[in-house]
Structure 1
């Protein structure tokens, strides 16, 4: 029909761009906008906005920036509709400075643009700027409040999140299921069971009791707060609306608290109601690893194969971890070698497994393979490698790996890496090297490190270093005095 129009005007072009956008064909919407420009038809502000939204639908930020250029050319950049869309686009591609520049246009500041900008800052973890804008908003909706609360929870700023919830209760009655879910997530993380119970009561009184999102958040909260009895009761109370997420939440709660056998019972019951997800299998395999249940782990692995589940890179990592912890390193290697693709997490699982099973030579081999495949090791990789060096007594190799952390891979050695090096030098009597290493550390040794140094010094009769360690320990905790004495085992 559109092709039959001899000379479509701006309204006709706006309709066709919008129709393609609504149909989910963002690419064609952008193509039609480009065709409109080539035919020298001046776009309406709504057309520019729709074209930018189309770019967002398929991640076409480059095309969106080009359309922004046309918006400037046709003097619609500062239009309320266009500016809000531009703010959203730049925020989603991480260019917050461009988003803020557009937001600061005199005519751009409205409820939508304020919310977009606050959301952009919050999602980027820039909560100070987000809060400043939020506080100056002339009006707010439940979305505005939720965006701020989500930002605090995303950044793990639990004290500020709790203060913000208190502010919400004083300032607004705009609370929806998303708000309750966010508050429950906060209760689960703190954890605060009493506040969680209050939210449960609020949900019941205000008609959110049958909302699946809130129901699953309640289930997760009770589980993470350690009230498994209440979690199970609530799970059965929500039998009319529970889904796969509900089963996973209950199963994870039991697995997290070391009740792996109970988690397996829940899994077998789950099969009668819904199909497990990959997340379910990952949780179960972790549970099997925790209780060294090799037979159960094999059953789950076989179940996945029989039922056609894809053993992707995440599940491969969980299988490698389970088999390694159950001392079945041969099966772990088979899973690792069969993986279609391998990333740093999968390599870490295999390297940690070999280290855990005293296979230091295999750890070195895997590390070299990792480098050849162009996969950059991370802090977890180096910790596993250093533990392997401790097990095998490979002091010089451990020193070389420690230097690689910063020299080759530009990573900052973590506390656990320094702790491992202290153990490596001390356990094998390299006391001069240990003393020099401690002297060059960028921070003061922790109490745990000092205790190790103290013990190694006694073992190898290193008086100076032992006295220094005991003095430092006494400074940290004068109520439990340490006194360095050489133990004569002869």
Structure 2
């Protein structure tokens, strides 16, 4: 029962009928208004009737047959036609204990019904939720000339409120005002309730402020209305005015006020309201007690919530559910289950809301047994038939990884049209990374005529990694008009970012009307992680800091962008913000800071951040180790790795792989061999990423045979492993072996990427396989949809150069669909140097210097070509130009 309904019952308002409904609610029917003490002057032969009404009905719920028997007796004796009080009493009894149809028939038979008669039948229709009938009877009453009283108006306004008939209610209120009932609490509270339920809270406030009222009913109505309309601050302000002298609160005031405190997280105000609860002596009221529990739960004070719960003399299902939900919110599943067991012991009627809270507590892999037990219990008690319980079971099973059980429960719902259930099932498949079943269920949902909501669409988008499929879902979202929603827009933006379609990701981001923290985070992270660091920084600068406070995820993404740009100055600014916000010691931010300082060459700052962090994870250690490795400080890296092992951190695949890459970069075979031994000892050799790193390490360190041996030990090599081995063969001049391995990779149905083709084309170049090189270059676009890049064309130019076909190399460069870069022209220049082609060498060198004026290698190569041809004057000119370029570059550097 909500607070406004309880207010009406407590004060006699909203139930109508000159005070009669209050007596009905209390269980005894005879009241001072309906039947005065022996008003009928009943004779001795009617004593059974009098006894029945004054004693029997107070202690026993009469049957319809008993009531009709009394009714018949009254008709037989002829007293019902002559006494309106008796007729009204029978109408009330019919309304309370029998059928409204009988009450209506009796009402129609009364020759001259009075206002009590009309009030009784109106309030009867109200209690049975037949609000249109209440309105119809009131219209009859008004047209018949009977003057309604304040109870009539209160009842009819309640009916209009429940039926959301605000226009009818306004007409009734005007009639009441014309009768001079402006200050009547029943009328005003009814109108306040009408406006509040119709989400016209400003109008409700106007009615409340029309005149000063000391009646608690009006205050309760406006406070309850404010809470219902989300105006929690207004509710607290009105309560503050109320207790300043206008009216004392009662047991119906506090649930609304405490709800407002909970919604705002105002624990201190809530404590003061708790003091008023004690002062007014309503602490034992079950509704007030439950509201106190809910307040402390929402404010995170579970100790006070438990104390309040233990002090309650009577606990209903709402009280138990509130305390269980509180422990679920605090992620204390053990306590939630413990209270649920106690609840079962005391035989409190458990409802679907309790079950959904307990199932939420079981949504952990360690509690799968308990989830199954509750599932069985719901089937035994019949609660399993409730759709919300089944939906919760689907969600719980999905979260603990039992997607098969989720699907089983979903299948037992027999073509449900409940959108929430479909959304939870689709989300379950998405959480378990089952793209096929997610899309299949999404399509079936659409075929069944259900329109996906925001939650459902976001779940589907979260798992999609194919841009074509993502665009199809985007079209569906657009048709449903959800593309402007923050949650859906963020999911779309993330999907496009993941598919490397950053232009589309940004376009979606721009369309979001009310960008929230998730929206900004999604776009900034998308730019930072997909090679657009400048855009990430620009977006971060333009983010409205007043409305959205950057969190750990955003700051780590921005620091990643600073790392990519080697912008230590920007990184320090972000570091300063993290210090002011008090999140500089967060593991995510700390790791990003270490990476940023390491990549910017400031190892002192990186190590300082590392030491200041209260706890370092593997990523932090790896970042610092990589920083030292990049600076050539191999000993520092190894010492850090040693310290990491002493610290007791688990050595994972990422750590080992980064160390192996370091050893490969520095060609330190002895370090790589020791790491290989550690890999075998820790059992990480089965990991594909570690195997790929070992292949690369041995290849770069000159031991291609060992590299091949490691590759053969990988059970299911992925694309990276295959590519590492192919590139390794190509770099060691084993072109035939590289091409054979590529064909074997294709037999294993592993699709190559752009890096794989660099290795393949390089292998063709090392072995002079021109026909094979042309074939594979064309195959990239034709068979795999990969656009050849500058490195691929450079490989083919190198191949032609090795064969001495320099003119053909120039023709290839000029016919390239992309603009040749310094790498392509530099490759031709190296071939010209080898074959002593002065003219083409001059052309290639000029092109390189146009693109990279400070490239000293081009000057040296061209100088060597002229020297080989005996053109010493040109050699001197080239050397002079090189010196001038070097001096200009140095001067620019000093000015900067």
Which residue does 1:84 correspond to in 2? Answer: 454
Structure 2 CA distance for partners of 1:34 and 1:212, relative to 1, 3 Å: same
Name the CA distance, whole Å, in 2 between partners of 1:488 and 1:231.
Answer: 52
269-278 or 355-364, which moves further after superposition? 355-364
Q: Structure 1 residue aligned with 2:789, among 374, 395, 414?
A: 414
Among 420, 433, 438, the residue aligned to 1:61: 438
How many residues of Structure 1 are paired with residues of Structure 2 in the alignment? 475
CA contact (8 A) 2:821 2:851 kept: no
- Structure 1 match to 2:777: 405
Q: How does 1:199-278 map to 2 (within 5 A)?
A: 199-238=574-613, 240-273=614-647, 274-278=649-653
Partner in structure 2 of residue 26 of structure 1: 403
Q: Choose which of 340, 346, 349 in structure 1 pairs with 2:724.
A: 349
In the TM superposition, 1:151-170 aligns within 5 A as: 151-169=526-544
In the alignment, does 2:561 pair up with 1:186?
A: yes
User: 2:800 and 2:538 mapped to 1: Cα distance?
Assistant: 48
Shift of 1:439: 5.4
Find the aligned partners of 2:482 and 2:700 in 1 and give their Cα distance. 61
Distance 1:122 1:448 in 2: 29
For 2:826 and 2:397, how far apart are their aligned partners in 1? Answer: 68
- Matches of 1:429 and 1:442, distance apart in 2: 23
User: Is the CA contact (8 Å cut-off) linking 1:118 and 1:134 kept in structure 2?
Assistant: yes
CA distance change for structure 1 residues 5 and 100 in 2, over 3 Å: closer, same or farther? farther
* Distance (whole Å) between structure 1 residues aligned to residue 789 and residue 493 of structure 2: 34
User: In 2, Cα distance between the equivalents of 1:122 and 1:400?
Assistant: 36
Contact kept in structure 1, 2:559 and 2:596, CA below 8 Å: yes
Decide whether the 8 Å contact of 2:426 with 2:456 is kept in 1.
Answer: yes
Q: Which residue of 2 aligns with 1:331?
A: 706
Does 2:656 correspond to 1:302? no
In the alignment, the residues of structure 1 paired with residue 718 and residue 503 of structure 2 have an alpha-carbon distance, to the nearest angstrom, of: 35
The Cα shift of 1:61 comes to 1.2
Residue 98 of structure 1 is matched in structure 2 by 473
So what's the TM-score if we normalise by structure 1?
A: 0.82
What SS does the aligned partner of 2:717 have? coil
Cα distance between partner residues in 1 of 2:839 and 2:686: 56
* 1:202–1:32 Cα change, 3 Å: same
Higher-Rg structure is: 2
* Worse-matched range after superposition: 213-222 or 371-380: 371-380
Question: 2:791, 2:823 within 8 Å by CA — same for their partners in 1?
Answer: no
Partner SS state of residue 429, structure 1: coil
- Rounded to whole Å, the distance in 2 between the matches of 1:233 and 1:277 is 24
Indicate if the aligned counterparts of 2:825 and 2:848 stay in contact, CA closer than 8 A: yes
Q: Which runs of 5+ in 1 are unaligned?
A: none
Instruction: Identify unmatched segments of 5+ residues in structure 2.
Output: 1-376, 871-896
Bigger shift: residues 416-425 or 275-284: 416-425
Q: Which residue of 2 aligns with 1:146?
A: 521
Structure 1 pair 188–169 and aligned structure 2 pair: CA distance change class (3 A): farther
1:5-20 correspondence runs (5 A): 5=381, 8-20=385-397
Q: Provide the C-alpha distance between the structure 1 equivalents of 2:500 and 2:826, rounded to a whole number of angstroms.
A: 38
Q: Aligned-pair distance for 1:35?
A: 1.3
C-alpha distance after superposition, 1:95-121 (max 9, x if no partner): 343344345535896554444444444
Q: State the TM-score, normalizing by the size of structure 2.
A: 0.48
Are the counterparts in 2 of residues 48 and 67 from structure 1 also a CA contact under 8 Å? no
1:424 and 2:796 correspond: no
The 8 Å contact of residues 516 and 548 in structure 2, kept in 1 or not, is answered as no
Secondary structure of the structure 2 residue equivalent to 1:151: helix
Shift of residue 26, structure 1, vs aligned partner: 3.5
- Mapped to 1, the partners of 2:493 and 2:754 lie a distance apart of 34
1:213-247 Cα shifts (integer Å, max 9, x gaps): 11112112111222111111111111x21122221
Partner of 2:172: none
Is the CA contact (8 Å cut-off) linking 2:761 and 2:777 kept in structure 1? no
Aligned match of 1:288: 663
CA contact (8 A) 1:216 1:246 kept: yes
Q: 1:4 aligns with which of 369, 377, 380?
A: 380
CA contact (8 A) 2:738 2:760 kept: yes
